[in-house]
Structure 1
């Protein structure tokens, strides 16, 4: 098997055989933030593939590995996608949400960690290159944690992919292919729409958001039979909360100072920490601007 570098949570390999090529994902079970629900996810993937969702064919799910048929395609650049691509993403979301799949594992949402002052002290004591930056943002990260804990989710809750981001998408013939389904589960609809639409409607950072691309996702969702939830901050709370948890997880990996045998390389964890320390406060400060994206489309 040939290692494919760049994964933010697990490790990926390509396996070429006389029966075709396969993507073999070695799951990080050592220091996962949440539990994988592999049996439910595999059943969900099979239903999505059978329904014609553009995705790699799911082959098998074991205790430590996931295997899919290898799919060739172009990685998305760090830039807003085309309106047609965004519209089709919206259609795909509506089709995913319409699937009738039993989900046995209801994930219990834990309170958001508030140990940012302690992490800043440990970062300084261990000489982390981003220690001063973390110390300067402690109060902001505590405010973000409070927002994530208290933000009202209006519903409905849907069974969905939960991580349709540029790094989990390919373009094949200019059309989307959805990768990496292992984080699938139940999620408030507004959070799924907001996270997905925002991620493909912008470039690096938040200075180049294209409202027309954001709205194209919603237009595609409605065109495929979906109904939009009320506008509000809940559209972005899952994205902010997920990024907050991902940043904290990578901080802990960096504080250990030893590259684990699974999961991302230590250098990639440092990069993820820097991205979170700079990007999260920026996103949190722009919440009113982001909410306006949903108000224009929903008329609320």
Structure 2
């Protein structure tokens, strides 16, 4: 992709660290500042549908969704106009911010964008015992913790594989988390649309609402913030799906797949040349080995505690 279309650079591209899947750079030119994302095409969990996602983003931006303007797309790169804003910490956001996130979701779900059939959900892997033994054999720092949780990880895989999703299925962002949000003058800006696609509505609402209603763990959950997302969704014309465990299965399943993907990168033991740095992959595995069993064990109480919100 020809970045010359963005204008004459006024300095070199600068790496922006911290991405979980791709690598980001900032490029300043005579025409402004741009976020240039180098897409990881070496070991993605799912095929990245760059053109489809870019078309979806353009429709969302045209509809007034608060997000960076999509500028260019290529096989291995994506460019947006740079947006200044404050990072959203992993802690309960203000209720007014959560309400606007709910409104944004409703606006996204109302878009009339053609979408080709998705290739299907990522298969639920059940090779956790084998991976734990490989981790022990290669001296991974989290290996013993993983081995002690193999039974729990298999139970999580079974839940993800068998949990009933009530529908409807919507075209949506699929990854609205604190690290994919900015706060600009106290209002949300939605970043990183690469995972966009079709998803059961309950999974999208539950994942989004819980992620911005809690702290780094699950001891600090604000039900009022969770409720504010749903109130915003209804206020903007959305209709809530039936309540139940399906509201959290997408978050659990996505985290499970993310942990396994990073685990395989750690077992390889080398920098892959794309995607997150190896140290970040180790952090992701360590967090998942502790956090996923914690979330799964709390699921019945979580569903009951937040029932009034839905």
TM-score, normalised with respect to structure 1: 0.98
Q: Contact 2:262–2:282 at 8 Å: present in 1 too?
A: yes
CA RMSD of aligned residues (A): 0.8
> Which residue matches 1:296?
308
> Which residue matches 2:10?
none
Q: Counterparts of 1:226 and 1:293 in 2: how far apart (Å)?
A: 23
Deviation at 1:111, TM superposition (A): 2.9
Ranges in structure 1 where 5+ consecutive residues have no aligned partner: none
Q: Counterparts of 2:170 and 2:183 in 1: how far apart (Å)?
A: 25
Q: Contact 1:190–1:229 at 8 Å: present in 2 too?
A: yes
Q: Contact 2:226–2:309 at 8 Å: present in 1 too?
A: no
> Which residue matches 1:167?
179
1:118-267 matches, cutoff 5 A: 118-267=130-279
Q: Contact 1:76–1:171 at 8 Å: present in 2 too?
A: yes
Deviation at 1:182, TM superposition (A): 0.8
Q: Contact 2:46–2:122 at 8 Å: present in 1 too?
A: no
Deviation at 1:292, TM superposition (A): 2.1
Ranges in structure 2 where 5+ consecutive residues have no aligned partner: 1-12
Q: Contact 1:37–1:105 at 8 Å: present in 2 too?
A: no
- C-alpha change, 1:103 and 1:293, in structure 2 (3 Å) is farther
Q: Structure 1: which 4+ aligned runs deviate by more than 4 Å?
A: none
Q: Contact 2:172–2:197 at 8 Å: present in 1 too?
A: yes
Range moving further from structure 2, 202-211 or 104-113: 104-113
Q: Contact 1:28–1:262 at 8 Å: present in 2 too?
A: yes
Deviation at 1:291, TM superposition (A): 1.1
Is the partner of 1:59 in helix, strand or coil?
strand
Deviation at 1:293, TM superposition (A): 4.4
Q: Counterparts of 1:149 and 1:60 in 2: how far apart (Å)?
A: 37
Is the partner of 1:286 in helix, strand or coil?
helix
Aligned residue pairs total 298
* 1:70 alignment partner, one of 51, 76, 82: 82
Q: In the alignment, does 2:281 pair up with 1:272?
A: no
